[in-house]
Structure 1
Amino acid sequence: MNIAITFKGFEPSEHLKKYAYRRFGKLSKYVDSKEDNSEMQVNLGVEKFRHLAEVSLAGDNINLTATEASEDMYATIDMVLDKLESQLRKLKDRDKDRRKGDRSRVNIETFTISENESGMRERTIMATDSIEPKPMYVDEAAMQLDTLDYNFLVFRNADTERINVIYRMNKHDFGLIDPGQ
């Protein structure tokens, strides 16, 4: 994360510069470190007795701003940092919830169809099971079904976040059921 700090209306001490860089640098733990293209612009200024801090953080999936004012620059930095940290924590939690998706369960019933005395066909449930499909890509599901001795596999498509079924058509071919298409 690139941090740029500008000072307006006063000449900062060396200690204040180090403090600001150290404090705002701690926010990098909330930003994705794999592809870190995020930029943080910090504007610290003084107007009469008010010490102002304006911060904007822009990145791939982030666009946050926060402002604070107080009578002490160190306190202003801490307050704006708390605001940004709270916003980043919310964003990270929301991202985590989105990745989890809705953990819907799929019910699987095993049944037989037989004829009763009057010649009507009737369904008899032999077993009921409930599974939570694992998120995986279609290629992964095909490889897993190839190694298993089943005719189909229910999974959560990692690309679309929908429940899909991959089934064996013949020895080497598979079919995919995606109800959202």
Structure 2
Amino acid sequence: MQVTTTFRHMEQSEALKSYAEEKLDRVAKYIDEPVVAQVYFTVEKKIRHIVEIVISAKGISTKASESTNDMYAAVDAVIDKIERQLKRYKEKIKAHKPNGDERGRQISKIIYQAESIETSVEPVVIRTKTETAKPMSVEEAVMQMDLLHKDFIVFTDAVSNEINVLYRRKDSNYGLIEPQRG
């Protein structure tokens, strides 16, 4: 596991860094290699100690933060929070494993030059991102959205093998966009 630590508004502490790395080994059993973890230690107003951890691994990304008045307690609390998230993710993946083929579909990306945006009268797509539409069920897509803190997710329906879009509505419910056969 590759761990990067950042200290904000405080002196670097080797003891704190090694404590966080030791605790991160506890969550490594829930995710596949390679794992990259970023740990941010922040002190605000000399009494509020905040620890934020972002973990990226093959096919999964999660983050959590916790604030207390003790940095070690904040590390313990945020590790517990991430462990619960990853445990829930692992259990749902086992329950919703797609039986179909495992190929992902690539969605193309185009980035326009800044000059063409300024001269254009029509609305222009400023940035697009390439996403792999992985086969999964709607329940698994909801879980991925919650885990990754996203407002929408593009995925391939494991049953119909069609690309779908799941999005979070303003009323905190979910909407599903399915393709229509014409």
- Give the TM-score normalised by structure 2: 0.51
**Alignment partner for residue 45 of structure 1, among 42, 45, 60?**
42
- Cα-Cα RMSD: 2.1
Superposition pairs for residues 104-123 of structure 1, below 5 Å? none
Which residue matches 1:19? 19
Separation in structure 2 between the aligned mates of residue 90 and residue 13 of structure 1, nearest angstrom: 32
Separation in structure 2 between the aligned mates of residue 42 and residue 13 of structure 1, nearest angstrom: 13
1:53-73: CA deviation from partner (whole Å, max 9, x where unpaired)? 111111222111101100000
Shift >4 Å, 4+ stretches: none
Separation in structure 2 between the aligned mates of residue 74 and residue 3 of structure 1, nearest angstrom: 17
Query: 2:72 corresponds to which letter in structure 1?
Result: Y
* Paired residue secondary structure (2:3): strand
* Paired residue secondary structure (1:45): strand
Q: Gaps spanning 5+ residues in structure 1: where? A: 102-159, 163-181
- Pair member with larger Rg: 1
Which residue matches 2:73? 75
Q: Gaps spanning 5+ residues in structure 2: where? A: 100-157, 161-182
Separation in structure 2 between the aligned mates of residue 45 and residue 25 of structure 1, nearest angstrom: 22
Higher strand share: 1
Question: Larger relative contact order (C-alpha < 8 A, sep ≥ 6)?
Answer: 2
* Paired residue secondary structure (1:10): coil
Give identity over the alignment, percent: 37
- Give the TM-score normalised by structure 1: 0.51
Task: Give the total of aligned pairs.
Answer: 101
Task: Give, in angstroms, the shift of residue 99 of structure 1.
Answer: 2.9
Task: Give, in angstroms, the shift of residue 12 of structure 1.
Answer: 3.6
Separation in structure 2 between the aligned mates of residue 26 and residue 88 of structure 1, nearest angstrom: 11
Greater CA drift, 75-84 or 4-13: 4-13
Query: 1:14 corresponds to which letter in structure 2?
Result: E
